[in-house]
A and B are shown apart, each in its own frame.
Chain A
Amino acid sequence: MPHALDVSLSLAWLLACGTLGLVLLLILSLLLLRWVRWRREPQLQAFQARWRRLLMRCALGDDVQNELPLLQSRERWPFMKLWLHCQMSLHGPARDRLARLAQTLDCGPMALSRLNSLYAAERLMAILALGFLKDASAQPAVLEQMRSGGSQTVVYAARALLEIDARAHADEVVQTLLQRQNLDLSLVSVLHKPFRAQLQQVLLSQAPAASSSDDQILPWLRLARALTLQLPAQMLAPFLTDQRSTDVLIAAIRLFQGESGRGMVAAHARHEDWRVRAQVAQALGQIGMPNDADVLVHMTTDLQWWVRYRAAQALLRIPGLGPQRVRSLISTTQDRYAANMLAAVMAEEGTAA
């Protein structure tokens, strides 16, 4: 028995020492990494200051070819990051000048080699760089990334292909974006902003028919919203029937713009799913007119908090109503939840009654 106790104590002691040793090792590694970073910081800053200025001068049209310092191999990737930052900040002829500069510095092969990097951030940057370099020979590699990459890679590769040749790739990009599930649509919206016009044109030509299934309609509506496609109310009408799924209804309501579709949107104010009702209230806040006040006042008495909240917001946003009129309209409901919600929204928006 005492022997077993001795073994347990020794084991506990060993474990404690081992844990302490590992913690010390971790702290030392962190300190070492900080020290390395601290040592490199001045070099990095000097590098950035030198190259930033050159890139900016190049972007504005100066001939900097004869002033380019030798780019060492360990500097190539930091340069690429800086160059991409510059590309993403500017548009117009400045971007073509920057592309020519990077071609001179032979950045294409480096970007191609990083397509297989273990780090996702590096792969995505390499894809974008190939696009901004406008190197047609990189198209097969980027196409492959778009066809087989993950949900973010697809969006980056699509942007790169559009940069290389928007006319040639717009169709395939739209097809791919429509087919991919779990697409990061906010990323699509941001990254494809410069090519919205071309993509919108293709998307419009592929609009689903009224007889299409919800599985076909939903990705189309979501992509249309990400690309800020403006559609006439009549085109959206077939997607607003009661037979459609909740997701399709919500996606279609989000696309309504202008007052002509108000009636179609308001028709779903009593939909059984509260998410549709909340979306109706939100949409009426953007496209509604004083005639829609009755619908919205009724919605402020909804059982769901979100519906009441959106309806109160919408009432205050409708042109021509004003806080006083809204308050008197709400008082007719004699619903204290509606009155409370209106007071909360008015306080939130700093609206004087």
Chain B
Amino acid sequence: MNPSMPPNNKPDMQEKQQHILVIEDDDFMGTLLQFVLERQHMQVTRVSDGRSAQAWIDQNPAADAVVLDLMLPQLSGMDVLTHLRQHPAWAHQPVLVLSALDTGGDIARAFQAGASDYLTKPFNPEELMARLRHGLTQSQGVERAARA
């Protein structure tokens, strides 16, 4: 088994490129996440503080998934998550929380606020992608079932 994470082959033209909103204030971590996701042919939008994230969510169509840090300037990730879940278009989108906070209480609060998944920093890129893909697949399944 090859443990590395090779770039994904070009997606089928029929297949819609998935759009991920990355809310992360650390420039290095944000760049790293963008690199990992774009390598898998995902479209990435990066926002670096809670207030801009809230504004972006209000003014744009829902992304396919969100990667969210909890410790953000101006407005915490938890507030962004609560806001996002109150927004009809974003209410069911998968939100993967990626945070250095790792106590049971922090994780429980994130799930109570509407997180779909939780991963702690430092992170394993392979694990991040696997979890994100799982979230996207589940959300697409729910969408398809709702349409049917």
Cross-chain contact B35 with A53 (CB below 8 angstroms) = yes
- A96: nearest chain-B partner, CB-CB: B3
Chain B, residues 126-139, CB within 8 Å of chain A (1/0): the string is 11000000000000
- Choose the segment among B25-33, B51-59, B110-118 that binds chain A (4+ C-beta atoms closer than 8 Å): B25-33
Nearest A-chain residue to B103, judged by Cβ: A228
Contacts of B126 in A (CB 8 A): 92-93
A94 to B4 alpha-carbon distance, docked (Å): 8
- Which residues on the B side are within 8 Å of A228 (C-beta)? 103
CB-CB under 8 A for A91 and B4, given A53-B35, A60-B36: no
Q: Does A93 contact B31, Cβ atoms closer than 8 Å?
A: no
**Measured between C-beta atoms, what is the minimum distance from B101 to chain A in Å?**
11
Which residues on the A side are within 8 Å of B124 (C-beta)?
A: 90-94
Contact assessment for A60 and B103 in the assembled complex, using a CB-CB cutoff below 8 Å: no
A59 at the interface (CB under 8 A from B): yes
- Check B121–A60 contact: CB distance below 8 A: no
In the complex, chain A residues whose CB is within 8 Å of the CB of B121: 89
Is A92 within 8 A of B103, CB to CB?
no
25 CB contacts below 8 A, A to B, read A52-B28, A56-B32, A59-B125, A60-B5, A60-B36, A61-B2, A61-B3, A61-B5, A61-B6, A62-B4, A62-B6, A86-B28, A86-B32, A88-B122, A89-B28, A89-B121, A89-B123, A90-B32, A90-B123, A91-B124, A93-B4, A94-B124, A97-B4, A194-B122, A228-B103
Q: Does A193 contact B (CB under 8 A)?
A: yes
A261 to B88 Cα, complex, angstroms: 43
Shortest distance in angstroms between B70's beta carbon and chain A's nearest beta carbon? Answer: 15
By a CB distance below 8 angstroms, the chain A residues around B29 are: 89
Asked if B122 and A91 sit within 8 Å, CB to CB, the answer is yes
Residue A37 CB within 8 A of the other chain: no
Q: How far is the CA of A52 from the CA of B33 in the complex (A)?
A: 12
For chain A residues 76-119, which have a beta carbon within 8 Å of chain B? 85-86, 88-94, 97
Complex contacts, A92 vs chain B, CB 8 Å:
124-127
Distance between B66 CB and nearest chain A CB, rounded to angstroms: 19
Q: How many residues of A contact B (CB 8 A)?
A: 22
Determine the chain B residues whose CB is within 8 A of the CB of A90 once the complex forms. 32, 122-125
**Of B31, B39, B122, B123, which contacts A60 at CB under 8 A?**
B39
The answer for the CA separation of A91 and B127 in the assembled complex, in Å, is: 10
Flag A253-276 by CB within 8 Å of B: 1 or 0 each.
000000000000000000000000
Report if A91-B123 is in contact (Cβ < 8 Å); known contacts: A56-B35, A228-B103.
yes
Minimum Cβ distance to chain B for residue A138 (Å): 22
The interface residues of chain B lying within 8 Å CB-to-CB of A89 are: 28-29, 32, 121-123
B102: Cβ under 8 A from any A Cβ: yes
B4 partner residues in chain A, CB cutoff 8 A: 60-62, 93, 97
Closest 7 CB pairs between A and B?
Answer: A61-B4, A92-B124, A91-B122, A56-B35, A60-B5, A93-B3, A85-B28
A283 CB → nearest B CB, Å = 13
Expressed in whole angstroms, the Cα–Cα distance for A190 and B120 within the complex equals: 12
What is the bound-complex CA distance between A92 and B105, given in angstroms?
Answer: 25
Report B-chain residues with C-beta under 8 Å of the C-beta of A52: 28, 31
Chain A residue at minimum C-beta to C-beta distance from B39: A60
CA–CA, A305 and B125, complex, Å: 47
Q: Which residues of B contact A56 (CB under 8 A)?
A: 31-32, 35-36
Interface flags for A288-303 (1: CB within 8 Å of B; 0: not) read: 0000000000000000
Beta-carbon contacts under 8 Å, B62-107 to A:
100, 102-103, 105
A residues in contact with B5, CB < 8 Å: 60-61
